[in-house]
Amino acid sequence: MNHNRLLSYAHLLMASGYLIFVVVGPWAKRGDAFGAFSSDGGTGFGIIGVVLGIILVLLAIFRVMGRAEVLPGLGVEQLTLVIGVAAWLNLICFVVGWLPIFEYGEGRRRGVPGTGWGVVGGYFTVSQIPLLLSPLTLGIPSPSRGIKALDEKKRQLFSVVTVLCGAGLILFPFLAWVTSGSVELSAFDGRSGNPTSGPRFGYLLFAIGVTLIIAGLMRLRAKGLAEPGPNLLLSHCLLGAAVLALTMPLGIIISCFQRSGLDIGVGTWLTFAACLILIILGVEENRSRNAVGV
């Protein structure tokens, strides 16, 4: 059995372990333990985590089968890295952004709900995919000889849209993300005496937005921007940033639909729209360039 086969089975093992942890294990402890689908547990982030886990298992099965391409211009290796990063940071966003919104307990015991072992186990297993396994396997497929360069008009259009969406990811978190009665909280707000807290995603979205703006502006240059590697193009990185950013507003949207007393702010909807545009952009560029290793 060669090393590629061993790494394929390692991918399958970690993806399956992650899916088992997030489905079976508790996500939050508020006296009792609550699972991924409960409004007091994982809520929207739990649902996203389970969906991403199913996708990771399917991708791992494709790798074991030797399948190279999932979508036109998007290979198994690249999509595994994209989904792996999104699943990993979705757990972090749940712990840092969603759990602190509602305090639990009374008096001196009042505080942020505890994290369940399902999240801890899921974090350990899924983090190995983008941090260890994907970098080891990304260079195994031979670079596609059919990768096409974008024509000048498309490159400029994609770059401008990337810059605009990046600016949106910087600005939209300052708007209301969640509302509770007369209280409106942005993605930067903490508790500050309010009964609820903002989701605190603003800094991560700000960093993603700045990165997208810099990359978009550099691609507008006559020589463009150098690709990270033959099997990891800028379009793959764009898609990864978009999927990662999407988990935050989507998690909030699903969670607010599940939980009474909390409404979705305009900042959440605008961020969600910007992320969808970026995903469409990344998929279209990958399709146009036929960027898959063979």
Judge whether 276 and 168 are in contact, CB under 8 Å. no
φ and ψ of 29, to 5 deg: -120, 110
- The pLDDT tens digits for 159-189 are 999 999 999 999 999 998 888 777 788 888 7
Task: Compute the C-alpha angle 72/46/50, nearest 5°.
Answer: 40
Res. 135: pLDDT tops 70: no
How large is the average pLDDT for residues 92-113? 71
Q: What is the largest CA-CA distance in the chain?
A: 65
pLDDT computed for residue 249 by the predictor: 94
The mean-pLDDT minimum among 135-149, 219-233, 275-289 falls in 135-149
* Residue 230 to residue 224: CA distance in whole angstroms: 16
How large is the average pLDDT for residues 55-71? 85
**Extended strands (E) in the chain:** 28-30, 32-34, 69-71, 74-75, 114-115, 176-180, 183-186, 263-264
Res. 291: pLDDT tops 70: no
- The pLDDT tens digits for 219-252 are 887 777 777 766 777 888 899 999 999 999 999 9
How large is the average pLDDT for residues 108-127? 80
Joined together, the tokens standing for residue 4 give 């590629």
| 79 or 275: which leads in pLDDT | 275
Domain ranges of the chain: 3-289
* Residue 43 to residue 127: CA distance in whole angstroms: 21
How large is the average pLDDT for residues 11-21? 92
pLDDT computed for residue 113 by the predictor: 74
pLDDT computed for residue 110 by the predictor: 58
| 164 or 142: which leads in pLDDT | 164
How large is the average pLDDT for residues 23-41? 85
pLDDT computed for residue 107 by the predictor: 47
* Long-range CB pairs of 139-144, under 8 A, 24+ apart, other chains included: 139/229, 139/231, 140/4, 140/7, 140/77, 140/293, 141/68, 141/75, 141/77, 141/231, 141/292, 141/293, 141/294, 142/293, 142/294, 143/230, 143/231, 143/293, 144/230, 144/290, 144/291, 144/292, 144/293, 144/294
Res. 50: pLDDT tops 50: yes
Q: Which residue has the tokens 């982030």?
A: 45
Res. 278: pLDDT tops 90: yes
- The pLDDT tens digits for 66-89 are 777 777 777 788 888 899 999 999
Compute the mean pLDDT over every residue in the chain, rounded to the nearest whole number. 83
Judge whether 30 and 57 are in contact, CB under 8 Å. no
CA trace torsion 243, 252, 190, 88 (10° rounding): -40
pTM over 0.75: yes
Judge whether 294 and 144 are in contact, CB under 8 Å. yes
> Would you place residue 112 in the very low, low, confident or very high pLDDT band (cuts 50, 70, 90)?
low
Report percent pLDDT > 70 for the chain: 86
pLDDT computed for residue 36 by the predictor: 87
DSSP sequence for 154-196 = HHHHHHHHHHHHHHHHHHGGGSEEEEETTEEEETT---TT-SB
φ and ψ of 69, to 5 deg: -115, 135
Res. 152: pLDDT tops 50: yes
> Would you place residue 294 in the very low, low, confident or very high pLDDT band (cuts 50, 70, 90)?
very low
* Residue 155 to residue 21: CA distance in whole angstroms: 42
* Residue 50 to residue 45: CA distance in whole angstroms: 9
Task: Compute the C-alpha angle 154/159/162, nearest 5°.
Answer: 125
10 Å CB burial of residue 19 (0-12, 13-18, 19+) is buried
* Residue 41 to residue 289: CA distance in whole angstroms: 41
